[in-house]
Amino acid sequence: LAVVSIGDAAPTGNYGYTNSGYSVYEEENERLTESLRSKVSAIKSLSIEIGTEVKNQNKMLSEMDNDFDSAGGLLGATMGRLRTLSRGSQTKVLCYMMLFSLFVFFVIYWIIKLR
């Protein structure tokens, strides 16, 4: 009984590979191919999810940009009113501030008194 290794067998039409050796390599290649196919599929689904998330983030950033623009416009209008107010007499502004402060003080006093 002679022991034959994979390299010692005679070629059988499989380009120098024996049937047993070729099938081992073929099975290994199939297994690695299937593993690679599953990894590629996972990467594809992950990239699709990343693309969807990027689209959502861009939409949210666009909405935030619009909100900040409107807030900037509102602040600009408020600053314009403050400039107009500051051009008036200082005593008039001081009187308004004192009246507003007294009003706030009485409102807070009234709220505390009701407790």
Read off the pLDDT of residues 25-82 as tens digits, 9 standing for 90 and up.
899 999 999 999 999 999 999 999 999 999 999 999 999 999 889 888 888 888 888 7
Is 10 within a domain? no
Residue 9: count other Cβ atoms within 10 Å of its Cβ: 14
Higher pLDDT among residues 50 and 1, named by residue: 50
Is 27 a domain residue?
yes
In a domain, 11, yes or no: no
In the prediction, which pLDDT does 2 show?
Answer: 44
* Residue 58: domain span: 23-88
Handedness of CA 3, 6, 11, 12 (dihedral sign): positive
- Tokens for 83, please give them: 């400039």
Domain count, the chain: 1
Q: What pLDDT shows up at residue 10?
A: 47
**Encoded amino acid at 71, one letter:** A
In a domain, 34, yes or no: yes
- 19 — pLDDT class (breaks 50, 70, 90): low
Q: Is residue 9 part of a domain?
A: no
pLDDT, residue 3, reads 45
For the cut 50, the answer to whether the pLDDT of residue 4 exceeds it is: no
Q: Tell whether 50 is covered by a domain.
A: yes
Residue 113 lies in a domain: no
What is the C-alpha separation between 85 and 99, in angstroms, rounded? 16
Band of residue 113 on the pLDDT scale cut at 50, 70, 90 = confident
**11 Ramachandran zone, left/alpha/beta (phi>0; psi -120 to 50):** beta
pTM over 0.85: no
Q: What is the pLDDT of residue 81?
A: 82
Start-end of H helices in the chain: 19-87, 90-114
